[in-house]
A = this chain, B = another copy of it.
Amino acid sequence: MKSDAEQLLKEKNIKITANRILVLDVFLKNTHTLSLADIELALPWADRATIFRTLKTFEEKALLHSIKDDDKSVKYALCSNTCQVNHHRIHPHFHCDICGNTVCLTGFDIPILKLPDNYKANNYSLMINGICEKCQKQ
């Protein structure tokens, strides 16, 4: 009987290790994006370099995608089934200016611009800043 994390790792052809299971579990238990520092907080005994390389591996294997918001550090989120190896991030992201959380807007499409012929577009990324539901109520 394998855990969800183990299943996912197997599906993505990532070798199963204790570290990877636990890092992935952190993502499975959270709804918003997480930075390397967030993972360090969640797994205080874990080594930063190991977490770093774990995130890189996960991104490369399309288990996570990375997001740059206005914060200083890169954040990561679980890929949806629309993410492919070497082609991530087809949905917009929302960054709350108050609490600093960033979430995936899965289910929303990034509107595609018609650019002149001299531009060849490979990837669109749309970041929306504003105030999240939680912070509006406060």
Contact = CB atoms under 8 A, between A and B. Distances in A.
Interface of A: 68, 92, 94, 97, 105, 108, 110-111, 113, 115, 118-133, 136
A113 B106 CA distance: 13
Contacts of A122: 97, 129-131
14 contacts: A92-B113, A97-B122, A105-B113, A108-B113, A108-B115, A111-B111, A118-B132, A119-B128, A120-B130, A121-B129, A124-B126, A124-B128, A125-B128, A125-B129
B113 A136 contact: no
A48 B137 CA distance: 43
Contacts of A121: 94, 128-130
